[in-house]
Structure formats: structure tokens, C-alpha cells
Structure 1
Amino acid sequence: MKKVLSLAFIMLFSVSIFAQKVLVSDPAHSRIQFSVIHLTINDIVGNFDKANLNIQADEKNFLNSKLNFEVDVNSINTHIEARDNHLRSADFFDVAKYPTMTFTSTSITKGKQKNYYNVNGNLTMHGITKPVSVVLVYRGSVVNQMNKKDTHGYQVLATIKRSDFGVGPNFPEAIISDQVRIKGDFELTER
């Protein structure tokens, strides 16, 4: 009887392992863009050029999947070197102390539109972890003709408050908006 139960457990465990696949982002085709309003009149846009997304995708039910991303904050790029250096300083991100930003999902639910998902999770930025919600958009899959791999497109959309994470506390809303819009674009392949 013990052998039968052990065999059943192993088979059940094996099925759950095979029902998942790990998708990892392609660094050459993945980044996170952010946008803030400067002086209440103009959008300033920048990127984090080094951002990794991975999805432990449950092939039977995507809502059971796990999503994680990590951003190298030092890779901030607004195309103005002096501004980028200021954003890296203790006035804003303090990359010497807090070099990475991470997000780990805690739940995924279907959105109102096809291929849209609401993802709740924990965002850690500037040494502070807070629950946030992001929208995940599945953009489709194709076979990449260069490497013959299935490539999956995902987009992450969110709006957060920089004040929730202590970023730029000495810069009021009249100079830089508290709300930061985020858009991440990722191409992923199976590991």
C-alpha cells in the first residue's frame, strides 16, 4: 500500500512539474519605460534598459502562474546624462544603497478585456516594499525566425506613487508629478 501511495504521489508531482514552463525575457528586446510630468505641463520619459521578467507559466490555468521582474536601477536612461546621474543619487533612487527594484506576484485574475490580467504583488523599490497592482497584457506568440524559438510578448502597465517609496521626497508635485506611469515591454522564451 505504501508503494502505491508513493507512486501516486510521484506521478501527481511529475504532472504538476510538466504543467509548468518557465519563460524568461530576452534582454535585447525587453525594457521598462516610465513617464512623469515635469512642471505640471510636460511628460518626461525614460527607460530602465536592464529589466528581466520571468513567468512560471501554468499551462493548464494561467491564473496559477507566478510573475517576477527585476530592474537594474543603475540602467536608468532619460537620454540626459546629468539628469540620469541625479536620478541615481540619494536625492532619488540612491542606487549605491538600492541597486535593484523587484516585483513578485501574489495573485493573477482575468481582466475585462481578452488577454488582459490583473496582477497583484509586492514591489520593492528604494528599500521599501509595498503591495501594488499591475496589468499584464499577453500580446501573442510567434516563432522567431532567427533562433526558431517560440517567442511570447507580454506588456506590463501600472501607475505608482513615488512618494510611497520615498523617491525624490524633496521634489514637490509642482516640479515632478508624484504619479509615475510604467510600461514594460518584454519578449520571453522558454528556459
Structure 2
Amino acid sequence: MSIVQKTKWNIDTAHSEISFKVKHMMISTVSGHFEDFTATAETDREDFIGAAFQFTAKAASVNTNNRDRDKHLRSDDFFSAALFPEILFTSGSFDGNTMAGKLTIRDVTREIRLNVDFNGIAVDLYGQTKAGFEISGSINRKDFNLAWSAITEAGSIVVSDTVKLTAFLQFIKEK
């Protein structure tokens, strides 16, 4: 019986981004990202199929380039960052195109599916082996108790329920 050696990969935060988009008043889109996050991957294959991914973001690091909106997002109306400081995703499966896993926001954990483009592996100028991914998907924010809502005088919803997720991730292979 042979033992399969797992390769560990750590996020290269200088070349990675975790972001989201949500409709505002159903006529425009607001973008945001998390400034403080970590991620790891563990695999025994070069194509990463079957790899285990884990991602953690600090809820208080949300940034939409608007201080008042960011403060509101950190409040109990949304992330409740003081009580639930981390957003966590742990993969359960990865087939090369789709990643399924558990996303925890606040006190709610739900299974989600994400689309994945594996962009390959390259060695940088410093001899570090890197792997790149583009990940996308969407969630219903109300499924995670991000339930704040308002209606304008004209009857428009202020914030849509659907949140589009995008991650551009570059990992560095552990030596």
C-alpha cells in the first residue's frame, strides 16, 4: 500500500481578490471586496481535482469604498462582524469545473456550488510554484441572515437578495 503525498498551497494575497456585487435599487451595481482573508488548498493531483480548499475572510474587512455603507455592512443588519468575525468556506468536492462546499456567514452554514476555471500552474522568477483560479457563483443573502431590506418611495428594492461572488486566487506551493 502506497501513501499518497498531499501538496499544500497557501494563498498569495498580493495576487488574489475576493469580491462581490449586488444590485442597488435594481438599477445599478455596487461592488465590494474583503481586505483581510486567508485560503489554503491541499491536493495530490496537478489538476487539483479532488483538492480540499478552505477560505476565511474577516467580516470587518469588508470594503465597498464607502465608509457609511461599510459600517452598515459590519452592523447587525448584515454581517454582525462583532459577533461573527469570520466568513468561512470549506470545499467538499472539486471536479475541475465546479466546487461544492459549505459557506458560513454569521450563524448560518449552507451548501453552495461555485464555477471554477483552473488557469494552470507556473513557476515565478523566484522559483515559487503558483496555481491560479477564477471562481464565481451567487448566493441569496437572506439565506445567511443578511436580511436587512428597505423599499424606496417609488417601490424599488434598495438591495437585491442575490449576491454575485467572484474570486481571483493565486496559491503558492509549500516547499
TM-score (norm 1): 0.83
What's the CA shift for 1:67? 1.3
Match for residue 126 of structure 1 among 95, 106, 110 = 106
User: CA offset at residue 64 of structure 1?
Assistant: 2.3
Which structure has the larger Rg over C-alpha atoms?
Answer: 1
**Greater than 2 Å deviation, 4+ residue runs:** 60-64, 168-173
Q: CA RMSD in A?
A: 1.7
* 2:81 partner amino acid: V
Q: Which residue of 2 aligns with 1:137?
A: 117
Give the whole-Å Cα distance in 2 for the aligned partners of 1:57 and 1:154: 14
Partner of 1:180: 163
- 1:25-76 CA-to-partner distances (Å, cap 9, x unmatched) read 0122222110000001000001111222211112167332211111111111
Q: Which of 37, 42, 56 is residue 23 of structure 2 equivalent to? A: 37
Q: Distance in 2 between matches of 1:53 and 1:132?
A: 17
Instruction: Please state whether the residue corresponding to 2:40 is helix, strand or coil.
Output: strand
Alignment of 1:73-152 (within 5 A): 73-110=59-96, 117-145=97-125, 147-152=126-131
1:115-140: CA deviations, max 9, x gaps?
Answer: xx111111100110011111122112
Q: Which has the higher helix share?
A: 1
How many residues matched?
170
1:114 — aligned with what? none
Q: Does the residue aligned with 1:167 lie in a helix, a strand or coil?
A: coil
Q: Percent identity?
A: 27
TM-score by length of 2: 0.90
Q: 1:62 to 1:144 in 2, by over 3 A?
A: closer
Kept in 2, the 8 Å contact 1:22–1:55? The answer is yes
Structure 1 residue identity aligned to 2:28: N
Structure 2 spans left out of the alignment, 5+ residues: none
Asked whether the equivalents of residues 26 and 158 of structure 2 are also in contact (C-alpha less than 8 Å), the reply is yes
**Corresponding residue for residue 25 of structure 1:** 11
Structure 2: how far apart are the matches of 1:40 and 1:170? 13
Whole-angstrom distance in 2 between the partners of 1:43 and 1:170: 16
Q: Which residue of 2 aligns with 1:4?
A: none
Is the contact between residue 157 and residue 182 of structure 1 (CA under 8 Å) also seen in structure 2?
yes
Letter in 2 for 1:35: K
Partner SS for 1:97: coil
Tell me which of the two structures has the higher relative contact order, counting C-alpha pairs closer than 8 angstroms and 6 or more residues apart.
Answer: 2
Contact 1:123 1:131 in 2 (8 A): yes
